[in-house]
Structure 1
Amino acid sequence: MSTGEPTGGGGRLPRPTWPGDAGPDLAAGARSLLEVDRLVEGCTACPRLVAFREQVSDERRAAFRDQTYWGRGVPSLGDEQAGVLVVGLAPAAHGSNRTGRMFTGDRSGEVLYAAMHRTGFASQPTAVSRDDGLVLTGARVVAPVHCVPPDNKPTPDERRRCSPYLGRELELLAGTVRVAVVLGGFGWVALLATLRDQGWSVPRPRPRFGHGVQVRLEHPDGRDLTLLGCFHVSPHNTSTGRLTPQMVDDVLLEARRLAEVGQTEM
């Protein structure tokens, strides 16, 4: 089943034409992460987000006028045996929505993948297109919302509608994932909501997000998951010095340490 790739010539890829339906209602039945990815790519569950992602792709930014935008739901990226999740927010209009890969083709991705390369999770420090050779080892980049939202602000209902994808990914990674690095408050709230739905021991009141905050959760089946807060790698934080490369490295290195400890205790 070919999904197509963004190429030259402008416009956007057509909506996928999978056999049968695609959408979050089917996520619970996905037998692999690849199946979850295909459901994400074909999803049209949120009319506002579908309309916006396609509008952005049709209009395009001047610098990318000759490129074909992805214009679909953007799937997760990374190791299918990941010990660490990196949880973002949603695709960027002219980054992931253009390239079809998480944190690829924008300034946030430049910061994130450079840090993941320095800390041993990424094969290279740059991410410019889906076919640039980037490989993640030990980590998987996910998001609570898989379509670009207007003003980078998904509604609570859109986040809830998209949550079965993240929930199923967590279930499929249950044997390996031990740490979640959460980039920003939106991802923090969304991930905790999904974990609570899955029976994890989320405290009440909900733990507050903050850079460097650690929260260890337990599941009734004996698993544990440590959440690490990290300011989002957006230019709003990195260009002002609120978030430095060393701060990102420190969180990722702590995530690696905790994941390795968790694997030895299994």
Structure 2
Amino acid sequence: MTTSRSEAVRSSRQPPTLVPDRDCPLCPRLAAFREANRAREPLWHNAPVAPFGDITARLLIVGLAPGMQGANRTGRPFTGDYAGDLLYATLLEYGFAKGNYQARPDDGLKLVDCRIANAVHCVPPQNKPLPVEINTCRQFLVANLETMPKLRAIVALGRIAHDSVLKPLKLKASQAPFGHGAVHQAGAFKLYDSYHCSRYNTNTGVLTADMFRSVFARIKADLD
């Protein structure tokens, strides 16, 4: 049996890279910050944070970047800081997670039909990635989108995550303006917007627990 040229090309392709290497050099500022964090806290994760959850999930949640005391410390998205407390409590309530969230990567928590990734995989200074860093890291977000065969719903937590998702979905900002609770159609996908579940947003009243829950209630109803 002969192999066609197209089949040979497909078989020779490497699987897409879903997370940067531990010592990823693509963003010099973030790499330098990572090295400084390693020297100060050698027992922390201090590396790009991989997505959490099954790649066959229908729901993908996209955050901004690892928090210094959260995922940068623990190695699991939204684990170890206040944003994770609200996010995982909500996922448990709506059946997108099971088990007990105890703010540790070994707490046994499992996601159900859900996956979590970040627009930027490394912790940035002051939790503020630069536009060039967001653009550079988008290739890994794109790889995650392309390798999720059952993906139907995407939640963008905050404007930066929203903007980062627009390009791979081939949406213009004018077509899909960010707004809490907004839902945008992108072919077979729906993009759901939410304010980020950070302590700052909840302390200032920008986001309430009920506002956050309403986004996931809508997603649950749409997927069901």
Using the size of structure 2 for normalisation, the TM-score is 0.88
Q: How do residues 234-249 of structure 1 correspond to structure 2 at under 5 angstroms? A: 234-249=198-213
Aligned to 1:11: none
Alpha-carbon contact 1:103-1:127 (below 8 Å) kept: no
Opposite residue 168 of structure 2, the aligned amino acid is T
Opposite residue 120 of structure 2, the aligned amino acid is V
- Structure 1: where are the runs of 5+ without partners? 1-27, 61-66, 197-201, 219-223, 261-266
> Identity rate of aligned residues, in percent?
37
Opposite residue 222 of structure 2, the aligned amino acid is L
Q: Aligned-pair distance for 1:259?
A: 2.5
**Cα distance in 1 for residues equivalent to 2:213 and 2:100:** 13
Aligned to 1:89: 64
User: SS at the partner of 1:228?
Assistant: strand
Q: How do residues 25-174 of structure 1 correspond to structure 2 at under 5 angstroms? A: 29-30=14-15, 36-37=18-19, 39-60=20-41, 68-124=43-99, 126-173=101-148
Select the residue among 155, 164, 184 that pairs with 1:181.
155
Q: Cα–Cα, structure 1 residues 29 and 166, in superposed 2: closer, same or farther, change >3 Å?
A: farther
Q: Deviations over 1:49-92 (max 9, x none)?
A: 011123234324xxxxxx71111100110122111111100001
Indicate the RMSD between aligned Cα atoms, in angstroms.
1.8
Using the size of structure 1 for normalisation, the TM-score is 0.74
Alpha-carbon contact 1:53-1:97 (below 8 Å) kept: no
Q: Aligned-pair distance for 1:103?
A: 0.4
Aligned to 2:167: 193
Alpha-carbon contact 1:114-1:125 (below 8 Å) kept: no
Alpha-carbon contact 1:40-1:165 (below 8 Å) kept: no
User: SS at the partner of 2:176?
Assistant: coil
Q: Cα–Cα, structure 1 residues 213 and 94, in superposed 2: closer, same or farther, change >3 Å?
A: same
Q: Aligned-pair distance for 1:99?
A: 0.6
Q: Cα–Cα, structure 1 residues 104 and 176, in superposed 2: closer, same or farther, change >3 Å?
A: same
Q: Cα–Cα, structure 1 residues 48 and 203, in superposed 2: closer, same or farther, change >3 Å?
A: closer
